[in-house]
Amino acid sequence: MQVVEDRMVSQTGSRENDISRYVEEALLGPVSLDSAPLFPKGTRLESLLYRDGVIYADLSDSAALAPLEGADVFTGLYTLYGGIKRNFSYVKDVRLFIAGHEVYSEKFRENFAGIVDI
């Protein structure tokens, strides 16, 4: 099962750095042994930019593959999106990219409308 995890990432004083460290931690895999990875092993954060409350995060092309048999790419991306929104309350929106191509952002916003906690 893929779930949003709270991560204890030390604060650096830079919102962009803090969020980058969170995403990199999430890409390493789950803390809980009962949870499934969000992305295949080796998926990297290629770049992350925080501007005017919006995160633009570009993941390596391996993020387009399901991490496990029976898992789907959408769930991993949606869970990462939710984790960023949950752990960084000042983030208004998250735009995720794989190899420079934006993925699912409108669908994420629709699914999150009215959800307070995930």
Residue-wise pLDDT for 62-112, tens only, equals: 998 887 766 778 888 888 998 899 889 999 999 999 999 898 766 666 665
Q: Side by side, which strands form the sheet with 101-102? A: 45-51, 54-59, 93-98, 101-102
**Distance between CA atoms of residues 77 and 84, nearest Å:** 11
The structure's pTM equals 0.79
User: What percent of the chain has pLDDT above 70?
Assistant: 78
Render pLDDT for 6-46 as a digit per residue (tens, 0 to 9): 556 667 789 999 999 999 989 988 777 777 788 998 999 99
For residue 52, name the pLDDT band (cuts at 50, 70, 90): very high
Whole-angstrom Cα Rg for the chain? 13
**Distance between CA atoms of residues 89 and 76, nearest Å:** 20
Contacts of 58 (CB under 8 A, 6+ apart): 45, 46, 47, 48, 97, 98, 99, 100
**Distance between CA atoms of residues 47 and 49, nearest Å:** 7
Q: Which CATH architecture has domain 15-112?
A: 2-Layer Sandwich (3.30)
pLDDT of 114 higher than 90? no
Question: Are the C-beta atoms of 38 and 79 separated by less than 8 Å?
Answer: yes
**Distance between CA atoms of residues 2 and 9, nearest Å:** 20
Helix (H, G, I), strand (E, B) or coil at 58: strand
